[in-house]
Amino acid sequence: MHAAPVHRPLLALLIRLGAVAGLATMSALIKLAAERGVHLLEIMFWRQFLTIPVMLAWVWATTGIGSLATKRPWTHFRRGLYGTIGMVLNFGAVIILPLAEATTLNFTVPIWAVLLSIVVLREKVGLWRWSAVALGFIGIVVIAQPGSGHFPIYGALVGLAAAFMIALISIQIADLSKTDKPLTIVFYFALFSAPLTAVALPFVMTSHDSTEWLLLAGIGATGLVGQLLLTAALRFGPVASVIVMDYSALFWATLYGWLLFDMLPPASTWFGAPLIVTAGLIIAWREHRFARTARREAVPMEGT
């Protein structure tokens, strides 16, 4: 049986930092590919399909194909289904919105995680976390500026829905990490999601030049590395702790937006983003406090 994961907080934070850099690079490449006319669903297919042979070659040369065995295929299938929906929304937000704004809306993941804990886990949420939720949504309003034409409201809704799916998927990954290795989780995600997107290829796929093929290969490579690191981070640390590193994505989004698209975030984003980041940090801090209290209470019980 697969051993239970050991928490190593510092390692988890460093791994998550690398994951954020990889996925931010992937987002920039997705936007470049879309601007060259590559369809969203085709981008998704190559993002996932290229993962399969790379991972098979890797495990064949190292741990053996048997290391991909799992006793939870249906759980992986559900993760693949939710992940495919999440990719549509995430990639769509990146294509519709400027990189910095799409990234900032992703920072609402902790807010959605709190709301999910209320609905799914029936948790009681106190004043601190409710205040954080309210602060986060104020930040969203500041950035979106409804009615101002700053950017399309439907783009903001897509970005928020993407963040919701990330929160939901993070819970799934944390659960799968109790029994399966990061490599296994990422492999089955690609294995189940690639056929779902392949159905659309006859209707959306077009011919590509060498630059577009390089962009698609880059999306697959950075996505694979980022996903592996993202999953590994959840193996060595809880979601509430490692999610703090996600805020470094705003640096990469701003940098890529400036270098590749000659676009810098407007003042509203710089005013709204700190509100959303602060909300996430408050939630992460409270989750850390709860986890530490739970560990302290468990020690006497283990000794009895």
Task: Please report, in tens digits, the pLDDT of each residue of the chain (304 residues total).
Answer: 455 556 677 788 888 889 999 999 999 999 999 999 999 999 999 999 998 998 899 889 888 888 899 999 999 999 999 999 999 999 999 999 999 889 989 888 878 888 887 776 666 767 777 888 888 888 888 887 765 666 678 888 999 999 999 888 888 888 888 898 888 998 999 999 999 999 999 999 999 999 999 999 999 999 989 888 877 787 777 666 676 778 888 899 999 999 999 988 888 888 888 888 888 878 777 766 666 666 566 555 454 4
Alpha-carbon distance of 193 to 149, in angstroms, equals: 35
The pLDDT assigned to 140 comes to 82
First to last CA, the chain: 27
Residue 119: CB atoms within 10 A of its CB come to 8
Residue 189, token pair as written in the block: 């995600």
Q: How far is CA 15 from the centre of its chain?
A: 14
Q: Mark 94-115 as b/e (b = at least 16 C-beta within 10 Å).
A: bbbbbbbbbbbbbbbbbbbbbb
Alpha-carbon distance of 286 to 173, in angstroms, equals: 21
| Count of positions (residues) in the chain | 304
Type of residue at 73 = P
Alpha-carbon distance of 89 to 303, in angstroms, equals: 47
Sign of CA dihedral 57, 60, 64, 70: positive
Alpha-carbon distance of 96 to 250, in angstroms, equals: 17
Looking at residue 2, the DSSP 8-state letter turns out to be P
- Give the pTM: 0.82
The pLDDT assigned to 132 comes to 81
